[in-house]
Amino acid sequence: MQVQPYLFFEGRCEEALEFYRQALDAEVEMLMRFKESPEAPPPGAVAPGSEDKVMHASFRIGDTILMASDGGCSGRSSFQGVSLSLNLAEVAEAERRFAALAAGGEVQMPLGATFWSPAFGMVVDRFGVSWMVNASG
């Protein structure tokens, strides 16, 4: 069994994928737009004029595959009650990734030493996704 995060960006998916490519070296493995679907979405499921938006994408950050979509293209993404944990081997790498995720976002807990990590911090990126950045050494 495997659990994979599926993120709905409500119209900003392509922008988010590019951001994660730059900030975290994400690699988009698959991307399908609504207009490329073999079946039309149910009536009312997608906002009019959203044919070029992302119906489904799969992207890799390190060893993890995440999935993403523009969803219903409502413009109101909401990521509550969940954080993605980014675990890095070195403090310098944690500092670099934390700063990249914080660009245009909001730092919840500055990156610093804790009893479990030489560098841990929490940030909400510009798309509203909450991240916990943790260095192991």
pLDDT band at 62 (very low <50, low <70, confident <90, very high): very high
Residue recorded with tokens 């990734």: 97
Q: State the pLDDT at residue 25.
A: 98
- Spatial distance between the Cα atoms of 39 and 43, rounded to a whole number of angstroms: 12
Helices (H), ranges, 36-113: 91-102
- Cβ atoms < 10 Å from Cβ of 132: 16
pTM for the model:
0.91
Tokens of 13: 């998916």
Mean pLDDT of 22-45: 91
Which of 5-19, 35-49, 79-93 is predicted least confidently?
Answer: 35-49
Quick one: pLDDT band at residue 49, thresholds 50, 70, 90? confident
pLDDT, mean of residues 82-108: 97
* Tokens encoding 2: 């495997």
**Domains in the chain, CATH or no CATH each:** 6-69 (3.30.720.100), 84-135 (3.10.180.10)
Taking the C-alpha atoms of residue 18 and residue 16, their distance in angstroms, rounded to an integer, is 5
pLDDT of residue 76: 82
Can you tell me which residue has the tokens 């403090």?
Answer: 91
pLDDT at position 44: 77
* pLDDT band at residue 17 under the 50/70/90 scheme: very high
